[in-house]
C-alpha cells in the first residue's frame, strides 16, 4: 500500500468517525489523532522521505488536500453540533407564552377630562386661548354682565346656589366671557377663547341631574364674525367629538346674552339619523347652545357693538360623555368608582 492509499484510507475512516462524533471532545480527539504532532497524517507524511524527489511534492500536495478536507469536515461537524446543542438548549428554555404579562399599572385620566382635552386641542389648533375663571363668582359677572338683571325671568332657567346676595357658585362658564371681554385689548387682535370648568346648579342629584357639572364656554369677538362662522365652528366640534359623518342643525332658542340664539342638534351618532332610542326616534340629539353675542353684553364690557361682534357657545362635557359612551347616570362622574374610572383607558 503506498502512501496515497494510506492517506485515502485514513481519510475515509476519519470522515466516518467525524460524522459519528456527537460532542466537541470526540471531534477534538479525532483532530488530534489525525492532525496532531503524533497524528496519523503526520505519521504518514513522515514516510515521505522514502519517496523519490519527483513523487514527494505530488504526495505532499495530496496529503495537504486531505488534511484541508478533514479540517473542513471537522469544523463543519463542529458547527452542526453547535447548532444542535443550541437548539436543544433553547428547547429546554421554552416557556408558556400564554401566561399573562406583567401588568403596567398606569392611572387613567377622568373621562370628562378626556372629553375636555379633545375640545381644548381642537380649539387650540384654531388659535383659541384657554381662559380660566373663578368658580365662586359674583352675581355681576354670572348674570348682570350677561344681560340678566336681577328679577329677569330667564334667571329661572338656572337655579342658583347663593353664598351672599352678590356672591354665588357660578351656574355657567359664561361669566368668564364677561371677564375676558372686559380686559381684552382688541388692538392686539381678535378675542378667541374657550373656558372649560365646573359649574353648579341648585338641583337634586339623580340620574340626569347633578348639582355639579362641567361646561365649556366658547367666544369669538372680532370685526367680521357671522352666524355662518358659528355654524361652521360648531359643525367642526360635532365632527371632532362625534365622528366625521355628523351633521348639525340649529333651532331658535333663547339665551339672554346672545341674539340670535340657537339650540344645536347633532345628527344621531348611534343610528346616523334613522331614529333610535338614543335620539328618541328624532334622528337628532341636542348637544349645545349658541348664538351671536348680544350687543348689550358687548356694551357692558366696554366694546363698541357697532364695530365688533361675535359668537358664543356653551357645551356640556358631562352630556357629551353620557351620549357618546352611553353612561346612563350622571352621578357616576363624581362618585369615582375605580371600576368606572378604569373603563375609559383607550387613547386616541
As measured in angstroms, the least distance from the Cβ of 79 to another protein is 37
As measured in angstroms, the least distance from the Cβ of 344 to another protein is 10
Closer to another protein by CB, 41 or 298: give it.
298
As measured in angstroms, the least distance from the Cβ of 152 to another protein is 8
**Measured on CA atoms in the order 316, 125, 271, 228, is the torsion positive or negative?**
positive
Q: Measuring CA to CA, which residue among 257, 246, 324, 241 is closest to residue 290? A: 257
Residue 320 C-alpha cell reads as: 357629551
Distance of alpha carbon 162 from alpha carbon 246, whole angstroms: 39
Find out whether 291 and 260 touch, Cβ atoms under 8 Å: yes
Closer to another protein by CB, 39 or 218: give it.
218
Q: What share of the chain is helix, strand, coil (3-state, %, to 5)?
A: 45, 20, 35
Work out the angle at residue 313's Cα, subtended by the Cα atoms of residues 308 and 316, and round it to the nearest 5 degrees.
160
As measured in angstroms, the least distance from the Cβ of 250 to another protein is 4
Distance of alpha carbon 112 from alpha carbon 199, whole angstroms: 13
- Verify cis geometry, omega within 30 degrees of 0, for the bond prior to 260: yes
As measured in angstroms, the least distance from the Cβ of 317 to another protein is 11
Distance of alpha carbon 318 from alpha carbon 334, whole angstroms: 10
Closer to another protein by CB, 51 or 341: give it.
341
Closer to another protein by CB, 70 or 241: give it.
241
Distance of alpha carbon 316 from alpha carbon 323, whole angstroms: 11
Closer to another protein by CB, 39 or 196: give it.
196
Find out whether 147 and 297 touch, Cβ atoms under 8 Å: yes
As measured in angstroms, the least distance from the Cβ of 192 to another protein is 5
In order of 79, 154, 311, the CA distances from 158 in angstroms are 84, 8, 21
Pseudo-torsion of CA 230, 314, 176, 189, nearest 10°?
-20
Q: Does 259 belong to an annotated binding site?
A: yes
As measured in angstroms, the least distance from the Cβ of 272 to another protein is 19
Return the residue matching grid coordinates 386661548.
129
Binding residues for Mg(2+): 259
Binding residues: 259
Amino acid at each position: 500500500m503506498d502512501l496515497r492509499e494510506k492517506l485515502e484510507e485514513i481519510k475515509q475512516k476519519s470522515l466516518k468517525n467525524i460524522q459519528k462524533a456527537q460532542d466537541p471532545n470526540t471531534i477534538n480527539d479525532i483532530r488530534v489523532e489525525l492532525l496532531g504532532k503524533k497524528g496519523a497524517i503526520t505519521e504518514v507524511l513522515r514516510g515521505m522521505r522514502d519517496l523519490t524527489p519527483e513523487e514527494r511534492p505530488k504526495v505532499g500536495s495530496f496529503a495537504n488536500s486531505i488534511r484541508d478536507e478533514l479540517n473542513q469536515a471537522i469544523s463543519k461537524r463542529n458547527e452542526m453540533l453547535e447548532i444542535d446543542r443550541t437548539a436543544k438548549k433553547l428547547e429546554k428554555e421554552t416557556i408558556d407564552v400564554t401566561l399573562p404579562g406583567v401588568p403596567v399599572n398606569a392611572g387613567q385620566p377622568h373621562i370628562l377630562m378626556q372629553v375636555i382635552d379633545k375640545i381644548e386641542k381642537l380649539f387650540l389648533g384654531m388659535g383659541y386661548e384657554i381662559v380660566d375663571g373663578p368658580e365662586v363668582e359674583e352675581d355681576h359677572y354670572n348674570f348682570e354682565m350677561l344681560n340678566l338683571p336681577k328679577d329677569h325671568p330667564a334667571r329661572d332657567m338656572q337655579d342658583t346656589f347663593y353664598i351672599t346676595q352678590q356672591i354665588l357658585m357660578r351656574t355657567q362658564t359664561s361669566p368668564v366671557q364677561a371677564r375676558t371681554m372686559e380686559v381684552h385689548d382688541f388692538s392686539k387682535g381678535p378675542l378667541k377663547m374657550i373656558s372649560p370648568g365646573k359649574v353648579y346648579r341648585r338641583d337634586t342629584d339623580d340620574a340626569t341631574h347633578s348639582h355639579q357639572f362641567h361646561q365649556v364656554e366658547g367666544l369669538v369677538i372680532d370685526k367680521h364674525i357671522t352666524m355662518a362662522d358659528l355654524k361652521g365652528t360648531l359643525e367642526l366640534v360635532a365632527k371632532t367629538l362625534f365622528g366625521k359623518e355628523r351633521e348639525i342643525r340649529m333651532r331658535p332658542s333663547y339665551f339672554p346674552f346672545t341674539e340670535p340664539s340657537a339650540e344645536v342638534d347633532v345628527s344621531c351618532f348611534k343610528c346616523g339619523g334613522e331614529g333610535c332610542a338614543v335620539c328618541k326616534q328624532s334622528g337628532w340629539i341636542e348637544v349645545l347652545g349658541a348664538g351671536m353675542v348680544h350687543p348689550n353684553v358687548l356694551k357692558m364690557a366696554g366694546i363698541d357693538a357697532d364695530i365688533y361682534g361675535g359668537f358664543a357657545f356653551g357645551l356640556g362635557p358631562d352630556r357629551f360623555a353620557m351620549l357618546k359612551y352611553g353612561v346612563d347616570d350622571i352621578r357616576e362622574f363624581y362618585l369615582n368608582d375605580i371600576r368606572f374610572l378604569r373603563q375609559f383607558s383607550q387613547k386616541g
